[in-house]
Amino acid sequence: MSNAGRTPLVEMRDISISFGGIKAVDHVSIDLYPGEVVGLLGHNGAGKSTLIKVLAGAYQADHGEVLINGEKAEIRNPRDARAYNIETIYQTLALADNLDAGANLFLGRELMSRGLVNDAKMEAETRKIMGRLNPNFRKFNVPVKALSGGQRQSVAIARAVYFNAKILIMDEPTAALGPHETQMVAELIQELKAQGLGIFLIEHDIHNVMKLCDRASVMKNGQLVGTVNVNEVTDDDILGMIILGKKPAHLAA
Amino acid sequence: MTDTGQAVAAPAPKRSIIDTLELDVRLLGMLVAFAAIAIVFTIWTGGTFVSPRNVFNISVQAVPVAVMACGMVFVIVARHIDLSVGSMLAMCSAVMAMSQAYWLPSALGLEYGSPVILVVTILIGFAVGTGMGALTGWLVGYQTIPSFIVTLGGLFVWRNINWYTTNGQSVSLTDPNLLMFGGTEGVLGAPISMTLGALAAAAAVFALYSARKNKLSHGFVVKPAWAEGAMMGIVAGAILLFVTWLSRYPVPEAKLKRLFQARGEVMPEGYTAMHGLPISVIILIVVAVSMTLIARRSRFGRYIFATGGNPDAAELSGINTRALTVKIFALMGFLCALAGLIAQARLQSHGNDIGMLEELRVIAAAVIGGTALAGGVGTIYGAVLGALIMQSLQSGMAMVGVDTPFQNVVVGLVLVIAVWVDIIYRKRMGLAK
Ligand SMILES: Nc1ncnc2c1ncn2[C@@H]1O[C@H](COP(=O)(O)OP(=O)(O)OP(=O)(O)O)[C@@H](O)[C@H]1O
Ligand SMILES: [Mg+2]
């Protein structure tokens, strides 16, 4: 796909953020176009989650700016991010363990009727979306702490896709999923992409990256190693970028 | 993830009666404990323990702690604690006592006992309580000082500003309109009480029915009709039994005579009247029902529980957890003011030690009622029941002549044992519950 001349959906420019003395993200710029999946790769602690949390409103960048559809966006908290139709599946899932799947799915955006929370309606909606994502899911009336890791992840995914996101951030969305469920998420990603969403996908499985992503940005020690078009490289090229922190010679020009 | 899903989908295994009724086992446990206490003391006192008079007294005495325990549930569920509630109660009580007895009469040029003074006094009291709570909430939420510290400080500060407010003097309160909030002096009588009881029973049945209808309309499984009917029967029966019982507690003849005299009439021969529901108990019921509604059906309540379950998740879901903290503590402060009003009306005076050590009873009531100090879990009815259990224990022990220090030993033990039993139970049943 050629992005020439198009306005990026998201542009993160020159983002830096540090915790105490550690530069978790160090002058990183990445972008994302509509209908595109951009993989974000790197070793553990490279700064991937921290970078996308700036976009999600969970962290404030010390330096740099975020542009949405070419316009500067002020994202001060998760509420602002939601207002830009940015939805996030956090690596930690960010579920309230004591609430059931429906309450978590609609947390912060409850369905109301006559001024009261309508749990029955929310459960019905949750059943609908879970039917598409994970048809075997049955545990609608128990706190999510009673769910398996994969079931919890399904709830977090359902929450991110339910609200008509335009920009989707997925931080290792299939880490806890079985092969069948992973396949369903892969299909979901392709479907959402076809609908024109832009997706940042943090993923360690190089095979999934090659299959799902259009471009891949690689980070090392908080810095951006480079961004490549996935169909122009081999998996060994990307592994080399992750491990050595250098762009492959044939692309370095 | 397929395995568990399948297991649930498989033909339903035979369900126990508790499952069928969808009873909260924790609630059941408390009811059993409560019943056990009642039975033991009833036998021990030869029946006096369950006499209408004693049931009336226990209910009235439990109100201030129970009202505050409702607020404490929210505080603890949100992973905080409030050690200052007893002192906030005293502070609100002091301000209300001074307002009605001294400040307002001179400021407004009205007599002590004028209804205007009482109304303004109550409004001031509520504002002071809510303000103190909001200040605590701001220090905790926005300044991120641990609530244990802020409220431990508050315990000292408010208790002693209370002292300065009244200059260490007790204020005697005689306004009959105020005393209405205290219990014995403010009762509805048998006919009104029975009518209210019947209405409440009907409302409870209707609430259960409409919850069932709502579930059915979304195609969810509901419990069998007979089980639902039994639940309705039990709830309605309990309400009616309670009001009937209180409606059998006669007002002493001497007091009736005085009431007639005050109106310039002579009491007809053989005239009797019953206490019925005290206004303070009705206030408690209104508080408990509203707080339950808030906990289960409002955004505010949902956010409190979400924050208690996982503060980061709540924040990432766009919940303003700082503002939420302010609201939780402000509500707690408001309930302290309400409890202060009821307490001073019952005691017919404001004394320096009003509400002393009450924070510990309030926390104990919430915890006995199943509120987990780790946050995220708790019920309003549990806390009210916890307050009732403690009050019954104390009242029963006092009746059979257990001396006060030992009463407190028992209350302390009950607190620890209640939590202990709960932990054992959870371990047995597998942690998920
Ligand atoms: N809240 C925090 N406080 C202090 N340091 C942090 C915080 N969050 C992240 N870090 C540090 O920032 C660096 C980047 O962390 P980050 O979570 O972004 O890594 P990551 O690339 O997502 O790794 P992984 O693949 O393990 O998820 C790490 O060195 C980490 O220790
Ligand atoms: Mg990460």
pLDDT digits (tens, 9 = 90+) for B250-294: 999 888 888 888 888 888 888 889 999 999 999 999 999 999 999
| Residue B85, pLDDT above cutoff 90 | yes
Contacts of A109 (CB under 8 A, 6+ apart): A82, A163, B318
**Strands A116-117, A112-113: pairing kind:** antiparallel
CA distances from B386 to B55, B229, B236, B365, B380 (A): 16, 27, 21, 4, 10
Asked if A137 lies within 8 A of B218 by C-beta distance, the reply is no
Band (pLDDT 50/70/90 cuts) for residue B430 is low
Asked if A77 lies within 8 A of B318 by C-beta distance, the reply is yes
* Co-location of B162 and B301 in the same domain: yes
Residues of B whose CB is below 8 A from A139: 4-5, 8
Note whether residue B149 is domain-resident. yes
What are the structural domains of chain A?
Answer: 1-85+166-253 (3.40.50.300), 91-162 (no CATH)
Span B70-92, average pLDDT: 98
* Co-location of B126 and B137 in the same domain: yes
Note whether residue B100 is domain-resident. yes
Interface predicted TM-score of the whole assembly (ipTM), two decimals: 0.92
Residue that is last in its domain, among B277, B309, B335: B277
CA distances from A240 to A177, A250, B182 (A): 27, 12, 78
- pLDDT at position B340 is 98
Band (pLDDT 50/70/90 cuts) for residue B421 is confident
B195 vs chain A: nearest CA distance in angstroms? 28
* Co-location of B256 and B389 in the same domain: no
Query: A67-78 burial by CB neighbour count: b if 16+ within 10 A, else e?
Result: bbeeeebebeeb
Residues of B whose CB is below 8 A from A104: 313
Give chain B's radius of gyration (CA, Å).
Answer: 23
Nearest CA in chain B to A83: B318
Instruction: Determine the distance separating the centroid of ligand 2 and the alpha carbon of A91, expressed in angstroms.
Output: 6
Nearest alpha carbon, ligand 1 atom 12: A24
Tell me what the pLDDT averaged over chain B comes to. Answer: 91
Note whether residue B104 is domain-resident. yes
Q: What is the pLDDT of residues B58-67, one digit of tens each?
A: 999 999 999 9
* Co-location of B172 and B307 in the same domain: yes
| Residue B380, pLDDT above cutoff 60 | yes
Note whether residue B267 is domain-resident. yes
Residues of A whose CB is below 8 A from B319: 107-108
B302 vs chain A: nearest CA distance in angstroms? 8
Q: What is the pLDDT of residues A170-216, one digit of tens each?
A: 999 988 888 988 888 899 999 999 999 999 999 999 999 999 999 99
CA distances from A53 to A122, A214, B206, B340 (A): 27, 22, 47, 47
* Co-location of B139 and B198 in the same domain: no
Band (pLDDT 50/70/90 cuts) for residue B22 is low
Other beta carbons within 10 Å of B68: 34
Q: Which ligand has an atom closest to residue A218 CA?
A: 1
Return the closest-CA partner of residue A25 out of A2, A46, A55: A46
**For residues A112 and B301, is the Cβ–Cβ distance under 8 A?**
no
Band (pLDDT 50/70/90 cuts) for residue B18 is low
Contacts of B186 (CB under 8 A, 6+ apart): B179, B180, B278, B279, B280, B345
* Co-location of B114 and B235 in the same domain: no
Q: How many domains in chain B?
A: 2
Nearest CA in chain A to B378: A98
Band (pLDDT 50/70/90 cuts) for residue B10 is very low
Q: Is any atom of ligand 1 closer than 6 Å to the C-beta of A217? A: no
* Co-location of B325 and B393 in the same domain: yes
What proportion of chain B, given as a percentage, has pLDDT over 70? Answer: 94
Predicted TM-score of the model (pTM) = 0.92
| Residue B197, pLDDT above cutoff 70 | yes
* Co-location of B141 and B69 in the same domain: yes
Residues of A whose CB is below 8 A from B371: none
| Residue B9, pLDDT above cutoff 50 | no
Q: Which of B316, B324, B377, B426 to mutate to test the interface with A (most CBs of A within 10 A)?
A: B316
Note whether residue B90 is domain-resident. yes
* Cα–Cα distance, B47 to B215 (Å, whole number): 44
| Residue B108, pLDDT above cutoff 50 | yes
Q: Which of A50, A59, A90 has most ligand 1 atoms within 8 Å of CB, for mutation? A: A50
- Residue B163, φ and ψ in degrees, nearest 5: -60, -45
Ligand 1 nearest-atom number relative to CA A219: 21
- pLDDT at position B5 is 37
Return the closest-CA partner of residue B87 out of B174, B172, B165: B165
* Co-location of B341 and B247 in the same domain: no
* Cα–Cα distance, A233 to A251 (Å, whole number): 9
The residue segments making up the domain with residue B415 are 46-51+63-178+278-428
CA distances from B327 to A155, B140, B331 (A): 29, 11, 6
- Residue A189, φ and ψ in degrees, nearest 5: -60, -45
Q: What is the pLDDT of residues A92-132, one digit of tens each?
A: 999 999 999 999 999 999 999 999 999 989 999 999 999 88
| Residue B29, pLDDT above cutoff 60 | yes
- pLDDT at position B20 is 63
**Chain B interface includes A83 (CB < 8 A):** no
* Co-location of B103 and B230 in the same domain: no
* Co-location of B206 and B253 in the same domain: yes
Span A54-77, average pLDDT: 95
